[in-house]
Amino acid sequence: MNHLKKISLAVLFSGIISSFAMAGEARGAGATAVPGQVSSKSYLKECGACHLAFQPQLLPKRSWEKIMSTLDKHFGDSATLDEDTRSEILAYLITNSAETSSSKVSKKMLASIGKAQAPLRITETAYFKRKHREVQAGVFKRKSIGSPANCTACHPMAEKGNYDEHKVKIPK
């Protein structure tokens, strides 16, 4: 076999393999990219006041514990709660954290976070960064979006826990 033929065969082969991998990814994501709808009324009310009440399945238990114990210094805001409400919400977050979920998003999210890390942001995780690699930094800064944390801007069904890539609409 001459050299050129070998190269083109290799290219063809890797093409076939990567299209298989992509089909697998799309199938899996479409079926399971739903960590679930938020059910706690207190959580929706208190933690949905300034932004989307992020699904607890999007972060590990250790992250929620850290977030809920630093509410006085919450990303430049104060999000303090009375102790009863705080412990009720913390219990809800722990009961539904990523570790408790069988969804693919939760599993991939967990796998992307080092065991010793407790990120305070979903948007800082390697999984989030990987999935949003194609979104240019400038896009997140658009007036209509403002921040990577504004999930609802691009994922119209984010409140229902649906981040399916086929439903994404990036506003101008």
For residue 150, CA distances in Å to 14, 18, 55, 143 come to 37, 31, 13, 11
38 touches ligand HEC (CB under 6 A)? no
Select from 38, 98, 105, 113 the one that contacts ligand HEC (CB under 6 A): 105
CA-closest candidate to residue 54, choices 29, 83, 75: 75
Q: Record the tokens describing residue 132, joined without a space.
A: 């949003």
Applying the rule CB under 6 A, the residues between 131 and 150 that interact with ligand HEC are 131-132, 134-135, 139-140, 145, 147-150
Select from 38, 46, 60, 161 the one that contacts ligand HEC (CB under 6 A): 46
- Nearer to ligand HEC by Cβ, of 46 and 61: the residue is 46
CA angle 96, 113, 128 (to 5 degrees): 85
- Nearer to ligand HEC by Cβ, of 60 and 140: the residue is 140
74 touches ligand HEC (CB under 6 A)? yes
SS3 64: helix
170 touches ligand HEC (CB under 6 A)? yes
From the list 7-15, 71-79, 94-102, 110-118, the region that binds ligand HEC by CB under 6 A is: 71-79
Helices (H), 1-145: 3-32, 41-47, 61-68, 83-95, 104-111, 126-131, 137-140
- Shortest spacing between CB 85 and ligand HEC, in angstroms: 9
Helix/strand number for the chain, H first, E second = 8, 0
Select from 44, 79, 94, 157 the one that contacts ligand HEC (CB under 6 A): 79
Q: How far is CA 135 from the centre of its chain?
A: 14
Binding site for ligand HEC (CB under 6 A): 29, 33, 46-47, 49-51, 54, 58, 67, 71, 74-75, 77, 79, 89, 105, 121-123, 131-132, 134-135, 139-140, 145, 147-151, 153-155, 163-165, 168, 170
